[in-house]
Amino acid sequence: MYSDVLLVRHGESEANATGRFASHTWDPHLTPIGKAQALHLATQLHHAPIRYVVTSPLARAQETIAPLAAVHGLKPVILTDLSEVNLGQWDGQQLKVLEQSGLDSYRLWRVDPEKNPPPGGERILAVGQRVLETLTEFLSIHHETGLTVAATHADCVKGACLVIMNADGPATRCMLVPNTGQVLLRHWDNGRWSIVLSPLYFKE
């Protein structure tokens, strides 16, 4: 027996559009493009057998999942540990400024975010572990057939995949999670997680 969870990155946020990091000190909303992406997600998954919708507490994730939840008549459940990676001292800063700063900490983080997390920030595998742990806890309480859709953040998706694959930190730089990008995870009754690469097909 198993339960499926579709991890979804939020739509384009004000932080994405302006090239800024947003972690804990700034909670940007979706841009008009991000809102359109959220509506498209709701259309895309209109006929999916969704039983639960869970979300990061941050505005961009909640706004992304709201149209889908409304289509299915569901109330999103907020899971704090689906929240964005803690970026420490880089929270709110412009990416271009950091790129041009010549800081060794930024250069090394770009190579391996596990060995070289942001100053005062979070390691990528720790992010993935907390995401999987909170989903496991949720599923242990709501163990039913059907699909759970989880709105979260790019590094949360990457981190979860790294943990499942037992991969090293540099592997995250081989992953691209676009806005409203999705990955299907399967949680087995024995506690194991799998990444499902084949697409879901939903009957109308």
pLDDT digits (tens, 9 = 90+) for 130-189: 999 999 999 999 876 779 999 999 999 999 999 999 999 999 999 999 999 999 999 998
Domain ranges of the chain: 2-196
**Is the pTM higher than 0.85?**
yes
154-157: long-range contacts, CB 8 A cutoff, minimum separation 24:
154/9, 154/181, 155/84, 155/85, 155/113, 155/124, 155/127, 156/7, 156/56, 156/82, 156/83, 156/84, 156/85, 156/127, 156/128, 156/131, 157/7, 157/9, 157/181, 157/183
Residue 200 has pLDDT above 80, yes or no: no
The pLDDT value given to residue 173: 94
Structure confidence at residue 117 as a pLDDT band (50, 70, 90): very high
The pLDDT value given to residue 199: 66
Mean pLDDT of the chain: 94
CATH assignment of 2-196, among 3.90.1010.10, 3.40.50.1240, 3.40.50.720, 3.90.15.10: 3.40.50.1240
